[in-house]
Structure 1
Amino acid sequence: MEKQPMTESLTLSSPRSARPGGLREMLAVALPMVASQACETAMMFVDRLFLSRLGTADMSASMAGGLTAFMMMTFFIGLIGYATALVAQYLGAGRKEYCPRVITQALLLALAAYPLILAARPLAHGLFAASGIPPAQLEPQQAYFDILLYGALLTLLRTALAGFFSGIGRTRVIMISTLVAMVVNIAANYVLIFGHLGFPALGIRGAALGTLLAGFCALLVLAGAYWGRSIRREFAVGAALRFDREILGKLLRYGYPAGIELFLNLIAFTLMILLFHGHSPATASAVTIVFNWDMVSFVPLLGIQIGVVSLVGRHLGAGRPDIAQRAARSGLKMALTYSSLILILFVAFPAQLVGFFAPVAADAVYAEAAPLATVMLRLAAFYVLADALMVVFSGVLRGAGDTFWAMCISVAMHWLLLPALYLALKVFHLPPQTAWLALIFLFLSFSAVFYLRYRAGHWKRLRVVGDS
């Protein structure tokens, strides 16, 4: 028999005066996650900024290699990451002792996934070889990819433990762990890439090693908080260290669409990047610069999405779809405010943003890439508000358990973009900026689809923790 919802759990870790589902509660949960995602963005941004000082080939190699390494982990990141919604729903239903049980199953999945990820390494090398990447970029790209892939277990374990804290709404712990990672990453990369403090200059390999060291430090922070006395006592963490077939089944049932979605989307996105990179060195450089800034606009929105998933899941678990909808509206206000600022930045200062990535020495490839990147960055302003809509509405659906539908639409979107880009660049031989504009207009249409699914209201009637 299900326990009755606990009303006090609805505002856990939020100010007592905050209106449930209101902007203050959303800010309390989402702002630390926005800060956390901003730190993650800063790490990747600074990596590529440092590497751009070595030349455009290393900068482009870090983007393509890093994306491919992440792509190899994405199914399991999406699957394990659904722990956030499941923990939130158990908390909302007043079953706090089940929250760490979810994390135990997520940790077991992380351990099982690691050898499978490593076994797929040769496939990525084959993809690199077949993509037509210039030799000057190919070797450092493979080296960067290999090092990151060997550290995949750190990413999976971090995802599992972060799911607990985001699910219960104590997202400051995640923010602190990511802040530590950012400081370690920037310092380690400065030392290892350029060879300071007596260390050899390792170039792009140093960037990858610095990323792994940062991930390890972040994992230590999360593990320390999870096993700390307060959490251990409140949630009976020790008693949860056991296999639970029912909870593992829920995690697999509701998490696999998120995993498939993330995996297939990253394959499509990586192939799109490789298509651009195979066009010419200048196009590769321009696209790398644009997507670095696009990452600045998009990744912090994922922090808002985690807040939406957490609060929607919690309030639906407590049987309050009205408050869950209020939380969705609060998340949308945050997302649109942030994206509006990014839109102004992209429209008003594209040349200055591109100039951040100018190599120290004169570079003919950069000289050709900079005007192209400026045009593409200004065009990117068209879809930043659509990003906000799609991130929030897809977060609502995931928090409610409507993960299969969200997967279908998101995957369809990305795999329609891929042939459109192929036709534009390889068949019709359109300029890269024209192909980019076509992608943007296709992307805009899909944000409306997510809104229509949200507006239909099916998600309000779903229950995850109440089924067997």
Structure 2
Amino acid sequence: MSTVMTSFGHARALLTLGVPLIGGHLAQFAIQATDTIMLGWYDVEALAAVVLAGSLFFTIFIMGSGFAFAVMPMVAAASENDDGDRQIRRVTRMGIWISLLYVLLALPPLLLAEPILLAIGQEPKLAADAGKYLEIAGWGVLPALGVMVLKSYLAALERAHVVLWVTLAAAVVNAGVNYLLIFGSFGFPELGIRGAAIASLTVHVISFVGLVIYAIRSFPQHALFQRFWRPDWSAFAQVFRLGWPIGLTNLSEVGLFVFSALMVGWLGTIPLAAHGIAMQCASATFLVHLGLSNAVTIRAGKALGRRDFDHLRRGGLVAVGLSMIFACATVAAFLAWPEQLLSLFIDPDDPRKPEILVLGTGLMLMAALFQLADGAQVMAHGLLRGIQDARVPMIISAASYWPIGLGVGYFFGFHTEFGAMGIWTGLVIGLIVAGILLMYRFWARSLPALAARG
């Protein structure tokens, strides 16, 4: 009975923290899905171009967000110590510093996207439209990375509900600006893909300003922005050491999906549109696992700060169990209603809809196959980041996603008749390998080693 009650307590605590984080991720997804749906109604070519542009933006953004993810377990661990306020201020401030420096490297490829996409074999019209989008939306990487650092900071302090409400507000703003500027409603100019880009940039700026105001008012003791210009090289090094392998891990995972999109793009516009829609559906369910993963990172970080390894072990088991339960429900939904889910993203009158649905239905079946593996690997990452173990997981991820996942995907996609389905086969295999190896890393290596050191 004691074990059952303890597990129930862990589940309740994880869900109390995790549900707002899941909601925040889903609200962020709603922003992206709104762009996809509205542009799909506007023009299929515009949809395909934004799939490409969004893939490039997200690849660059997610690598830089490794430093924001590093802030989360460090703030969580510091909050359990007597001198926590000072350490919280130091690592959060330097997380913003590093993110700002990263933007200097991130902007050029975003603002010069068209020649990059042409160089990797994309169709000229798609590359030109994606470039138009990123000429505007690319500037959003600056506030977007700032938002990520502040979200990590607030979530680690168990203020995840604020992250949720700010993201929900941003989603509403995005939908409204999209409606006005993509279609030219209520007398506004019809800007199409550029209108979607303006909406995206607006959302990132509003979100950053909102979180800055909240952080200053709610945690004056942290003084995050007082004498912000002063460097703290020791904290800078701490965040950088944990953040760069997380960033490269993120890049390995996202790169698997982005390069898969590029390979599908070589097959044509209709396969790319079907791929983008199926990936949107899979991404929405993945965000539930990601929210739970963030919650377990925070709770693992707090347990690490207290050196409470029994709590860490039990909490980890419960978190993985919750993730697997949701994965099973997702598999059932993808198998039961593939066409209904795909149809949400396509203009009913589009003459290419039947072709997209046929291909997209097959891709949804593949997405169902990797739900368990995807949930397992992201939960393992959450646990490992909570105990600040990032370098070996980075190597495991890179090996699983690239030589294995992309290698298999390329072979089946272009050397067999499977096409896009073959590329997705590589995604499935890469995620399975990563999930197995990362779980082994946490349960058989990292956690026992920490417990032995006390």
* TM-score, structure 1 as length reference: 0.89
- CA gap of 1:423–1:215, structure 2 versus 1, over 3 A, is same
- CA gap of 1:402–1:332, structure 2 versus 1, over 3 A, is same
Confirm or deny: 8 A CA contact 2:406 2:430 kept in the other structure: no
Aligned positions of 1:106-145 closer than 5 A: 106-121=95-110, 124-145=113-134
Are 2:384 and 1:397 aligned? yes
> Could you say which residue in structure 2 is the equivalent of 1:87?
75
Confirm or deny: 8 A CA contact 1:232 1:238 kept in the other structure: no
Give, in angstroms, the shift of residue 286 of structure 1: 1.3
Alignment match of 1:207 (pick from 180, 188, 196): 196
- CA gap of 1:123–1:428, structure 2 versus 1, over 3 A, is farther
Match for 1:179: what amino acid? L
- CA gap of 1:438–1:419, structure 2 versus 1, over 3 A, is closer
> Could you say which residue in structure 2 is the equivalent of 1:375?
362
Match for 1:245: what amino acid? W
Confirm or deny: 8 A CA contact 1:321 1:460 kept in the other structure: no
> Could you say which residue in structure 2 is the equivalent of 1:354?
342
Give, in angstroms, the shift of residue 399 of structure 1: 0.9
Are 2:48 and 1:42 aligned? no
Aligned positions of 1:57-76 closer than 5 A: 57-76=45-64
Are 2:208 and 1:181 aligned? no
- CA gap of 1:239–1:196, structure 2 versus 1, over 3 A, is closer
Alignment match of 1:317 (pick from 293, 305, 308): 305
Within 2, Cα distance between the matches of 1:296 and 1:113? 27
Alignment match of 1:263 (pick from 251, 257, 260): 251
* TM-score, structure 2 as length reference: 0.92
Within 2, Cα distance between the matches of 1:207 and 1:121? 16
Within 2, Cα distance between the matches of 1:424 and 1:127? 26
- CA gap of 1:29–1:18, structure 2 versus 1, over 3 A, is farther
Within 2, Cα distance between the matches of 1:342 and 1:216? 33
Aligned positions of 1:192-271 closer than 5 A: 192-228=181-217, 230-233=218-221, 235=222, 237=224, 241=228, 242-271=230-259
Give deviations 1:237-287, integer Å, cap 9, x for gaps: 466844222211110111110012222433343221110011122211211
Within 1, Cα distance between the matches of 2:9 and 2:96? 30
Within 2, Cα distance between the matches of 1:354 and 1:308? 32
Within 2, Cα distance between the matches of 1:379 and 1:270? 17
Confirm or deny: 8 A CA contact 2:99 2:145 kept in the other structure: yes
Within 2, Cα distance between the matches of 1:27 and 1:121? 37
Within 2, Cα distance between the matches of 1:343 and 1:349? 10
Within 2, Cα distance between the matches of 1:180 and 1:256? 31
Give, in angstroms, the shift of residue 60 of structure 1: 1.4
> Could you say which residue in structure 2 is the equivalent of 1:421?
409
Measured on the aligned residues, the alpha-carbon RMSD in Å equals: 2.3
Structure 1, gaps ≥5 residues long: 1-16
Match for 1:423: what amino acid? F
Give deviations 1:370-392, integer Å, cap 9, x for gaps: 11101110222111122221111
Give deviations 1:132-183, integer Å, cap 9, x for gaps: 3333322211112232211110111111111211222221111111111111
- CA gap of 1:362–1:266, structure 2 versus 1, over 3 A, is closer
Confirm or deny: 8 A CA contact 1:400 1:460 kept in the other structure: no
Name the stretch that deviates more: 410-419 or 437-446: 437-446
- CA gap of 1:141–1:124, structure 2 versus 1, over 3 A, is closer
Confirm or deny: 8 A CA contact 1:192 1:199 kept in the other structure: yes
Match for 2:323: what amino acid? A
Give the 3-state SS of the residue equivalent to 1:151 in structure 2: helix
Are 2:371 and 1:384 aligned? yes
Alignment match of 1:289 (pick from 262, 272, 277): 277
> Could you say which residue in structure 2 is the equivalent of 1:150?
139
Give, in angstroms, the shift of residue 21 of structure 1: 7.0
Give the 3-state SS of the residue equivalent to 1:259 in structure 2: helix
Confirm or deny: 8 A CA contact 2:377 2:431 kept in the other structure: no
Within 2, Cα distance between the matches of 1:175 and 1:421? 36
- CA gap of 1:101–1:144, structure 2 versus 1, over 3 A, is same
> Could you say which residue in structure 1 is the equivalent of 2:428?
440
Give, in angstroms, the shift of residue 360 of structure 1: 4.4
Give deviations 1:90-125, integer Å, cap 9, x for gaps: 112333211122111111112222222113347743
Alignment match of 2:158 (pick from 140, 146, 169): 169
Within 1, Cα distance between the matches of 2:436 and 2:212? 40
Within 2, Cα distance between the matches of 1:122 and 1:419? 30
Confirm or deny: 8 A CA contact 1:92 1:313 kept in the other structure: no
Match for 1:406: what amino acid? P
